[in-house]
Structure 1
């Protein structure tokens, strides 16, 4: 199972692209649905910027961490990058109609909740032990369990990591949103 999880983790970008293509194929975009989904896409990308800049290192195809990040959005939840992805994907699904929403929610839950996140959490538990267990006990996976200690929402932030790691995500988000809008308004 761990080799399957490692494979899915490496392929998560491609799987995200496949999921987007399915959503785009099913899209029945209206002006209202586009406007309903757009705030989720924008908020998701902003949230990802905050999370990516807080990590302090570029993410790659393998799970890794030099230290346990517990500040910034990580003080609120353990998976803020995936939360941002979820908001972006939900925005695209809302833009695209009910079938797209159902497929997105099912695929997101299957990939992230049952495969990718357990793979990462296994690594973090093995690497950081009780430090990670303590962190896990006070933070939810996607939603806060409690309000973080004063000052935990700020911490080291790297614009160079943000530029390196989120440039692709930003272009993907803009391109995906443009394609959904194009299909809805011109095709």
Structure 2
């Protein structure tokens, strides 16, 4: 089994382990909770925007957030993770960064190979012009070869991104309760 395949398989189970550790060690303050909530909510918005543009496995998405980064869903998840780390305690950011590199780096590389195989005519130009992770500020206009869709709330719902919003609301509620001493 390759490192990228292993990272892909471990991504979800390790996420639950990390979540459990997070719940055990979170020590929010008002300031960190507010700052983290804002960063995490930006991640929720990025994921929602991306989910409303992508038609998985049918078209190479190059519009919306995909004109800024090739991996907006992962970038949004990164913002959510950083936001929750900030909200809980700033030191957790180091752990988030290491976890991200070890798990998502190989996953992104593996997915890149699959996408290149599926879209050999359009992906190379897209890859040359749009960064893999951290977004460019201006939208790439494309060569006219890639396809995209306008934002669709139906796609957002079909991809289940509302679950990320529910997780955000639940996690922030838990942090508020911990901050107020309701949860020990």
* Both structures adopt the same fold (TM-score exceeding 0.5): yes
1:68/1:110 Cα in 2 relative to 1: closer, same or farther (>3 Å)? same
Shift of the alpha carbon at 1:116?
Answer: 1.1
For 1:144 and 1:106, how far apart are their aligned partners in 2? 20
For 1:84 and 1:94, how far apart are their aligned partners in 2? 15
Matching of residue 158 in structure 1 with residue 157 in structure 2: no
How is 1:1-187 mapped onto 2 (pairs within 5 angstroms)? 1-2=1-2, 4-57=3-56, 65-113=57-105, 115-145=106-136, 147=138, 148-149=140-141, 155-164=149-158, 165-186=160-181, 187=184
Alignment deviations for residues 69-111 of structure 1 (CA, whole Å, 9 cap, x no partner): 1111001100101111111111100011133211111101211
Shift of the alpha carbon at 1:31?
Answer: 1.1
Shift of the alpha carbon at 1:170?
Answer: 1.6
Shift of the alpha carbon at 1:26?
Answer: 1.8
Shift of the alpha carbon at 1:5?
Answer: 2.8
Q: Is the 8 A contact 1:26 1:100 kept in 2?
A: no
Q: Is the 8 A contact 2:36 2:82 kept in 1?
A: yes
What is the TM-score normalised by the length of structure 1?
Answer: 0.83
Unmatched segments (≥5 aa) in structure 1: 58-64
CA RMSD of aligned residues (A): 2.4
For 2:173 and 2:14, how far apart are their aligned partners in 1? 20
SS of the equivalent of 2:27 reads coil
SS of the equivalent of 1:55 reads coil
Compare the two structures and name the one with the higher helix fraction: 1
